[in-house]
């Protein structure tokens, strides 16, 4: 366990906790590299069925560490691409392509890269004080991490344009209303508890079925045709129907109990 990055597995949920509260969980490449290593380990661990991300302190993440932003200014474009976005874009790619369900438990602000990490997860749990802030244009740049693709598909083009071009914040209640977040916690004190309960619900489901469903959903957003998706989904369904989880589900239905996967 790293002091800056806390990790633990509870009830088959792998927790990733940013622990740099003095920087509002500001991000630097070395720290992001540690996050990527943990995600990879959780993906390979059959005892982990879902993954959560949250931050200690007031904020989920304030984005790039303020001191590091000055360092980036002195880098060449090649250095920025290789030494910065190999990590910053890399972790967003890794979360988006993760074969297990991912949940962002957004305490306080998810800003810049922090926002892009949150929207790359499958689900976002928020409170009224949580907010999403694509602040890139406010500091004279743009998001190169996927927000320009992901946000319009989550909330529509005009709402995405307001977030991306006008750097408009979206708070918890509105985030749930427009589909940017999934669940609104009762209050700040219940946020982590409700977020982990949300993840445990995912962890109880068939890992194989969830993996296939995630792949199918990703394919549907990448411009495939309905005919090709029908064909792909039938192949996956045939495999799942012959598998142990489907048999366990039928046994549970007949025994009038909850299935165990």
Buried residues in 22-32 as b, exposed as e (16+ CB within 10 A): ebbbbbbbebb
Mind listing the pLDDT tens digit for each residue in 188-207?
Answer: 999 999 999 999 999 999 99
Which burial class, exposed, middle or buried, applies to 134 when counting CB atoms under 10 A from its CB (0-12, 13-18, 19+)? buried
DSSP 8-state assignment for residue 50: E
Look at residue 80 in the predicted model and tell me its pLDDT: 84
Q: Is residue 1 over pLDDT 60?
A: no
As a dihedral over the C-alpha atoms of residue 230, residue 232, residue 238, residue 244, rounded to 10 degrees, the angle is -120
Supply angle C-alpha 142, 145, 148, rounded to 5. 65
d(CA 170, CA 119): 12
Look at residue 70 in the predicted model and tell me its pLDDT: 86
d(CA 26, CA 18): 9
Chain center to CA of 46: 19
DSSP 8-state assignment for residue 210: H
Among 36-45, 69-78, 135-144, name the one with the lowest average pLDDT.
69-78
Look at residue 212 in the predicted model and tell me its pLDDT: 96
The mean pLDDT value of the chain amounts to: 95
Q: Is residue 124 over pLDDT 80?
A: yes
Residues 6+ apart with CB under 8 A from 210: 100, 101, 202
Residues 107-126 have a mean pLDDT of 98
Task: Domain 5-203: give its CATH architecture.
Answer: Alpha-Beta Complex (3.90)
- Find the length of the chain: 261
d(CA 242, CA 110): 42
DSSP 8-state assignment for residue 185: -
Nearest to 66 by CA among 19, 17, 107, 28: 28
**Can you give the pTM of this predicted structure?**
0.94
Q: Please check whether residue 65 is in contact with residue 27, taking contact to mean a CB–CB distance below 8 angstroms.
A: yes
Residues 231-260 have a mean pLDDT of 95
Residues 196-223 have a mean pLDDT of 94
Residues 6+ apart with CB under 8 A from 250: none
Look at residue 2 in the predicted model and tell me its pLDDT: 54
Mind listing the pLDDT tens digit for each residue in 44-100?
Answer: 999 999 999 999 999 999 998 988 888 888 889 888 888 888 999 999 999 999 999
């Amino acid at each position: 366990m790293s002091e800056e990055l806390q990790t633990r597995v509870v009830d088959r949920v792998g927790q990733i906790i940013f622990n740099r509260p003095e920087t509002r969980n500001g991000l630097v490449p070395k720290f992001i590299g540690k996050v990527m290593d943990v995600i990879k380990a959780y993906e390979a661990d059959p005892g982990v069925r879902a993954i959560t991300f949250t931050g200690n302190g007031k904020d989920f993440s304030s984005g790039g560490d303020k001191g590091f932003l000055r360092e980036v200014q002195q880098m060449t474009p090649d250095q920025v691409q290789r030494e910065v976005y190999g990590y910053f874009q890399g972790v967003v790619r890794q979360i988006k392509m993760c074969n297990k369900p991912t949940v962002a438990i957004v305490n306080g602000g998810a800003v810049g890269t922090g926002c892009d990490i949150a929207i790359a997860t499958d689900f976002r749990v928020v409170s009224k004080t949580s907010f999403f802030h694509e602040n890139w244009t406010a500091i004279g740049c743009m998001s190169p991490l996927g927000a320009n693709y992901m946000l319009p598909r989550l909330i529509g083009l005009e709402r995405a344009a307001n977030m991306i071009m006008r750097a408009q914040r979206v708070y918890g209640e509105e985030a749930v209303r427009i589909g940017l977040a999934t669940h609104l916690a009762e209050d700040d004190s219940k946020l982590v508890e409700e977020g982990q309960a949300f993840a445990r619900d995912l962890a109880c489901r068939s890992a194989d079925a969830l993996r296939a469903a995630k792949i199918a959903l990703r394919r549907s957003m990448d411009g495939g045709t309905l005919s090709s998706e029908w064909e792909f989904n039938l192949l996956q369904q045939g495999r799942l129907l012959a598998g142990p989880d489907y048999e366990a589900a039928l046994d549970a239905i007949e025994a009038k109990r909850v299935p165990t996967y």
